[in-house]
Amino acid sequence: MSDKVNLAEKLASFSDHWAPRIVARYNDNEIRLVKVEGEFIWHSHDDTDELFLVIEGALDIELRDRTVHLHPGELFVVPRGTEHRPVSRGGETKLLLIDPRDMPNTGDEATATKAVEI
């Protein structure tokens, strides 16, 4: 994984939802791409922040006290320990995420969809 990454090409290579792909690594973190649609579950990550960058579509990141509305070219960092629920109400949304290596996307190994390298 020492070559450049074209985000559009990587995104074109898969079509399932809420199944993150690892496209690069930065220190102990994974740069992930994911396609989402509809509602995810409420969850949190106790030990880490999580970065969301919208590439295409629109994402609501619901927090317990407010909702962050993201459009293409907008990013938000969910602070560690903060309950959140990503929701894509208007169809499919394409996201870039930054997460620590092996972090479960649901905050829980038992329910997570493991991120795989592409």
Whole-angstrom CA distances from 64 to 4, 61, 85, 100, 102 are: 38, 10, 9, 23, 26
Minimum distance, C-beta of residue 109 to a second copy, in the bound complex (Å):
20
Nearer to a second copy, 22 or 40 (CB): 22
Nearer to a second copy, 73 or 91 (CB): 73
User: Which residues make up the interface to a second copy (CB under 8 A)?
Assistant: 2-8, 23-27, 29, 31, 48-51, 55, 68-70, 73-77, 79-80, 98, 100
Minimum distance, C-beta of residue 85 to a second copy, in the bound complex (Å):
16
Nearer to a second copy, 26 or 110 (CB): 26
* Plot region of 55 (φ>0 → left; ψ -120 to 50 → alpha; else → beta): alpha
Minimum distance, C-beta of residue 16 to a second copy, in the bound complex (Å):
21
Give the whole-angstrom CA distance, residue 34 versus residue 21. 6
Closest CA to 97 of 49, 28, 43, 38: 49
Minimum distance, C-beta of residue 37 to a second copy, in the bound complex (Å):
21
Nearer to a second copy, 46 or 110 (CB): 46
Determine the distance from the C-alpha atom of residue 91 to the mean position of all C-alpha atoms in its chain, rounded to a whole number. 16
